[in-house]
Amino acid sequence: MVQQMFVRQQNSQRSLGPATSRTSTVVAALLLVSGAAACHPPFKYTYENKTGVGLTDRATDYCQRAAKNLGYLVRTANPKIVDSPSQVDIRMRLVDGGGELIASCEFDDKRRVAALPKPQRGDVRKGVSGYIEGDAKQARSVCDKAVKSSGYDARNVSVAQWTGERTYRVNVAVRQGGADRNVACRFDAVPGTASVPPVTK
């Protein structure tokens, strides 16, 4: 359609003056460029075009870039938990101005977005929300009890991963129906409560 408009503009230039002809050419060219841009696929990093690059590779790269953009120094980025065919959670050991912490980076492959909390240290006495080492320890303990009381056969409880403000994610390896799987427990330190997905048959 854009190309047809460009052709009609060229034909009409024969009956117009030089100034009008030049203006018409510029407008048509702009329409052609904008139409072509609308057909371009979403942005991807160059390495993604290589064979063998999978979901967890993209998740790792995007999460590391997000961490560096926020000013973190990345120590490790493991393990990688595939929550769904398009979502990955990565446990990241990071260093900010207050020392080391463990945070959760959640990658959405459909939107190509890596979500990671901004560096912020909490202080209960001052009412400041952020990462608090005591909250992280409590999250692991509360989630261990919550998962077991929900009917899961818990095998291993990982360290708590900060998800922003005073909330944490704790990955728990469980045995269900003869198979191993991961359960993501969510802990909110303000009320001191944990939420666990219901057991599926």
Report pLDDT digits (tens) over 145-155.
999 999 999 99
Distance CA(42)–CA(60), nearest Å, equals 19
| Cβ-contact 161, 105 below 8 angstroms | no
Share of the chain above pLDDT 90, in %: 69
23 with 65, same domain: the answer is no
How many domains does the chain divide into? 3
Domain assignment of residue 43, yes or no = no
Average pLDDT rounded to a whole number, residues 93-106: 97
Domain assignment of residue 47, yes or no = no
Among candidate residues 115, 146, 163, the one where a domain is terminated: 115
Share of the chain above pLDDT 70, in %: 73
| Cβ-contact 150, 49 below 8 angstroms | no
111 with 146, same domain: the answer is no
Distance CA(99)–CA(148), nearest Å, equals 32
Q: How confident is the model at residue 178 (pLDDT cuts 50, 70, 90)?
A: confident
Average pLDDT rounded to a whole number, residues 164-186: 94
Q: Greatest CA span in the chain, whole angstroms?
A: 83
Q: For residue 177, what is the domain's CATH number?
A: 3.10.450
Cβ atoms < 10 Å from Cβ of 105: 26
Strand partners, 153: 175
Q: What is the pLDDT of residues 67-94, one digit of tens each?
A: 999 999 999 999 999 999 999 999 999 9
137 with 191, same domain: the answer is yes
Average pLDDT rounded to a whole number, residues 126-136: 96
Residue 176's pLDDT is 83
Average pLDDT rounded to a whole number, residues 132-157: 95
149 with 97, same domain: the answer is no
Q: How many residues does the chain have?
A: 201
Mean confidence (pLDDT) of the chain: 82
Residue 16's pLDDT is 46
Phi/psi of residue 51, nearest 5 degrees = -70, 150
8 with 31, same domain: the answer is yes
Distance CA(132)–CA(134), nearest Å, equals 5
Its domain, for residue 30, covers 2-37
Looking at the predicted structure, is the pLDDT value of residue 50 above 60?
no
Looking at the predicted structure, is the pLDDT value of residue 11 above 60?
no
Distance CA(114)–CA(64), nearest Å, equals 9
Q: What is the pLDDT of residues 184-197, one digit of tens each?
A: 999 999 999 999 99
